[in-house]
Structure 1
Amino acid sequence: MKLKLLILFCFVGNLTIAQNTNWALTGFSKPKENPILSADSSYEFACPMKNTSVKWQKADVFNPAAIVRNGKVYVLFRAEDTPGTNIGFRTSRIGLAVSNDGIHFTRRKNPVLFPSKDEFAKFDNPGGCEDPRIVERADDTYVVAYTAWNRDVARLCIATSKDLIHWKKHGPAFAKAYSGKFLNVWSKSGSIITKMVNGKIIAAKIKGKYWMYWGEKGVNIATSDDLINWNPLVEENGELKYVMNIRTGKFDSDLTEPGPPAMLTSKGILLLYNGKNAKEETRDQHLPAETYSGGQVLFDANDPTKIINRLDECFIKPDLPHEMRGQYKAGTTFIEGLVYFKKKWFLYYGTADSMVGVAVKNSL
């Protein structure tokens, strides 16, 4: 994996301190085609829960995962159905779109992951299936970590597929850990560590285990033997272990939430994440209050809990009109999908909880 050398300068008092960021993935630009996906009321779906046809993409389309398959980019996007209702009170379903160039997409008619009359309805109905992150296993199986939302507790769940269309739900990721201790604990945003193998990004093992960063207000971590059942790391007192927290005065002063699947590089484990700016005086004064922007952090390749370096500034932020206009008006560039395609990096993100955007970086 080749990363561009970049030196950022931070000013502290009368001193100028250079921050070495040769480990980071920077230099993204937003093509003129943005936004690349938006709401479309022409798509109808026979909802098994409502027993009626619903316009499942009518309100918003956002927060995408991405993967390369057979020389094409596939995006799993979150779609909401009912305009005019508050955030969290619509039903989300995950749709699939495909592209030959990473920018222009064709959508499938029906969603591929959604609430159904199955054993998991108690977790994902009526709020739905949200905010996927996708990785590929070495045996060509796809694994999605997504949020099941029953409008009570958000739960990080796992599903698997061989073709990206037909998915098998496995339920909450932490259901079996510690005798179910964390089954009903709020959990979201699973970023599984990957590696690049012959130009292909697949799930990686470190010390015989798969690892996943997850969480919302701070970043937690978990391990797995099979990418399906996960064990959160805990402190000596049994409470969840945090490997990264918010920072006063920074773009991530209110929230740090994992983005696309993390990647094992020659420098360490690179995690791209979402930072939310606080609304109090503790926020980054150069950004609007409550803005979501993107950050990067480097963890030790031999100890995924140990931070080596972290960008002081966001590397992507809302600065286009549609990124600051939608159901989340403070603005978001909520990153969830990253692929290496045709010698470029494509970073997919949600804009203002309403549309899908992309930023592109040449590999050199």
Structure 2
Amino acid sequence: MKLKLLLFFSVIAHLAVAQNTDWSLKGFSKPKENPILMADSSYVFACPMTNTSVKWQKADVFNPAAIVRNGKVYVLFRAEDIPGTKIGFRTSRIGLAVSNDGIHFTRRKTPVLFPAKDEFSKYDNPGGCEDPRIVQRADGTYVVAYTAWNRDVARLCIASSKDLVHWKKHGPAFGKAYDGKFVNIWSKSGSIVTKMENGKITATKIKGKYWMYWGEKGVNIATSDDLINWTPLVETNGELKFVINTRAGKFDSDLTEPGPPAILTDKGILLLYNGKNANGDTRDMKLPAETYSGGQVLFDVNDPTKVIERLDECFIKPNLPHEMRGQYKAGTTFIEGLVFFKQKWFLYYGTADSMVGVAVKNGL
């Protein structure tokens, strides 16, 4: 009898401390059509920087943003041009593809965001424009946060558009904040907070400001009045504020990097993010070393810097052959695009820095 009671109370105690995940987006599955976008050397572009024709999608196509427009899904994808060179030493350009079903896409022939002979070439040439995240403003304007890579410093930059094809570059997101204090820091991966009303996702303000989670090794946070110029939050000593960091023994033991635009829910602010597993004693032993997988964290709407809950386990990870084959062979599901389309969630991600994949979840 005593043994039975001990077992009973042990089960009750376990249930009491079990993680509450009602706030998270669960139940994604990968359709058989994966991968949905791959490299294609048939696309040719007249590069304004070199005055030559380049096969701008020849090497790899990956790391997509996504938005719904006029009843279709549009994906902004990163394409690299020259195979056989190491990571970071190609030129990246951002292309555009459209789909009626969220899975089968038709690509535009030329890129929409790329290095050009303009005032911003010092930031994005020769490495290019990388890893976009896109939101729509209430007035219909699209705003993309992307990485400008000059092969020296990666800078989070902003561009805007009315039609997804013609983009106006605005330069570094932190160019004006604190008299330019953070303009030359390594900055990436801007996830702007959005809300969904009547099935449409748009950027939203909280306490009169737009908010953006960003960063790479840990997640930082910034605010804006216009979605163009951003001010990072700092500690009392002037150093950047971190809202989450890496965790020893878990899937995000080496890196935490924001994914798609965060979403305001009735539970709080939901951020889907990318976690990289460490290579060593601090890694998650259930995953291969250096694997990129997806996590979720919930922030307080009254204080977007405060964590309410955070998943202990990744909700998406590399488990298909092409997700562990390519530029990054350790395995990658690098999430960047999330849309609600035809009563389903479509989550778009890069695989091994080489292809584009999608995972789908039915209903809200």
TM-score bracket for this pair, using the shorter chain length: over 0.9
Residue 349 of structure 2 aligns with an amino acid whose one-letter code is Y
State the match for 2:248 in structure 1: 248
1:143-162 Cα deviation digits (max 9, x unpaired): 00000000000000000000
Matches within 5 A, 1:18-167: 18-167=18-167
Aligned equivalents of 1:295 and 1:37: distance in 2? 23
1:272-315 Cα deviation digits (max 9, x unpaired): 00000000110000000000000000000111000000000000
Residue 338 of structure 2 aligns with an amino acid whose one-letter code is L
Q: Specify the SS of the correspondent of 2:280.
A: coil
Provide the aligned length of Structure 1 versus Structure 2: 353
Residue 278 of structure 1 aligns with an amino acid whose one-letter code is A
Task: Calculate percent identity across the aligned residue pairs.
Answer: 86
Aligned equivalents of 2:20 and 2:264: distance in 1? 19
State the match for 2:219 in structure 1: 219
Q: Specify the SS of the correspondent of 1:201.
A: strand
Aligned equivalents of 2:75 and 2:40: distance in 1? 16
TM-score with structure 2 setting the length: 0.96
**Unaligned regions of 5+ residues in structure 1, if any?**
1-10
Q: Report the aligned-residue RMSD.
A: 1.2
Aligned equivalents of 1:74 and 1:125: distance in 2? 26
State the match for 2:4 in structure 1: none
State the match for 2:177 in structure 1: 177
State the match for 1:199 in structure 2: 199
Matches within 5 A, 1:317-328: 317-328=317-328
Aligned equivalents of 2:180 and 2:69: distance in 1? 35
Bigger helix share: 2
Aligned equivalents of 2:350 and 2:162: distance in 1? 26
Q: Specify the SS of the correspondent of 2:18.
A: strand
Deviation at 1:15, TM superposition (A): 4.8
Residue 117 of structure 2 aligns with an amino acid whose one-letter code is K
Deviation at 1:40, TM superposition (A): 0.1
Aligned equivalents of 1:50 and 1:315: distance in 2? 43
1:27-67 Cα deviation digits (max 9, x unpaired): 00000000000000000000000100000000000000000
Aligned equivalents of 2:303 and 2:350: distance in 1? 31
Aligned equivalents of 2:172 and 2:197: distance in 1? 29
Aligned equivalents of 1:172 and 1:198: distance in 2? 33
State the match for 1:8 in structure 2: none
Q: Specify the SS of the correspondent of 1:323.
A: helix
Residue 35 of structure 2 aligns with an amino acid whose one-letter code is P
State the match for 2:168 in structure 1: 168
Deviation at 1:167, TM superposition (A): 0.1
Residue 100 of structure 1 aligns with an amino acid whose one-letter code is N
Aligned equivalents of 2:81 and 2:26: distance in 1? 35
Deviation at 1:18, TM superposition (A): 1.3
State the match for 2:344 in structure 1: 344
1:111-168 Cα deviation digits (max 9, x unpaired): 0000000000000000000000000000000000000000000000000000000000
State the match for 1:363 in structure 2: 363
Residue 326 of structure 2 aligns with an amino acid whose one-letter code is G
Aligned equivalents of 2:109 and 2:222: distance in 1? 35
1:71-125 Cα deviation digits (max 9, x unpaired): 0000000000000000000000000000000000000000000000000000000
Aligned equivalents of 1:222 and 1:328: distance in 2? 30
1:214-243 Cα deviation digits (max 9, x unpaired): 000000000000000000000000000000
Residue 42 of structure 1 aligns with an amino acid whose one-letter code is S
Aligned equivalents of 2:121 and 2:302: distance in 1? 39
Alignment of 1:335 onto 2:335: yes
Aligned equivalents of 1:149 and 1:293: distance in 2? 24
Q: Specify the SS of the correspondent of 1:123.
A: helix
State the match for 1:281 in structure 2: 281
Residue 232 of structure 1 aligns with an amino acid whose one-letter code is P
Aligned equivalents of 1:214 and 1:331: distance in 2? 23
Aligned equivalents of 1:225 and 1:155: distance in 2? 20
Q: Which runs of 4+ in 1 moved over 4 A?
A: none
